[in-house]
Amino acid sequence: MDDLNFCLGKQCAKAYGVSVWEWFGSALDEGDEASKWFSTYLGKLSQLVRFNAVTFSNSILVKGCEPFSEDLWKELKINIFKFQGVKLCSRLNKVPTINQENGIAGSEPNETLKEFISDKVLRPKKKQQGKVYFGQNLVCQESLIEGKGKTISVGDCVYVFSKASLAADAAA
């Protein structure tokens, strides 16, 4: 199969009805050539889309709430931006266990975390995969593509509009 090449700097049309995990929204369509390539490779109709880097960004730390309460948040607002909680974030199994002083892998902190934030504890009636969850993946519902200066900052208030009643009800 030929290589697929495309320019990340080109202007792209918006693709609507995109789904990632349990989130639905819009993204940037990489075009017909990319869609055809992926459809052929995967053997089913597919579309390559791109998200602004802010859409799937690193951690946001929140103070002033109960520990792990963010696992239940479904809809929230930070500054002027609305976010949707789409999936509990499973943590890498090996990286946190490596002792930074000697480079040797051990069992901690995963063994301790498994006692209170694993799929066995949080989702006992669901299929067990040995995952440890820590936080949640959020997707910004606003378009961050047009323009700069759209940021959240340290000290911005977080408003939670809806949440799951139990961790077992949160998407994973």
Instruction: Give residue 63's identity as a one-letter amino acid code.
Output: K
Whether pLDDT at 102 is above 50 = yes
| Structure confidence at residue 149 as a pLDDT band (50, 70, 90) | low
Cis peptide before 109 (omega within 30 of 0): yes
pTM of structure:
0.59
- Round to whole Å and give the CA distance between 32 and 38: 10
pLDDT band at 159 (very low <50, low <70, confident <90, very high): very high
Most confident of 69-73, 86-90, 118-122, 160-164: 160-164
Exposed/middle/buried for 85, CB within 10 Å: 0-12, 13-18, 19+?
buried
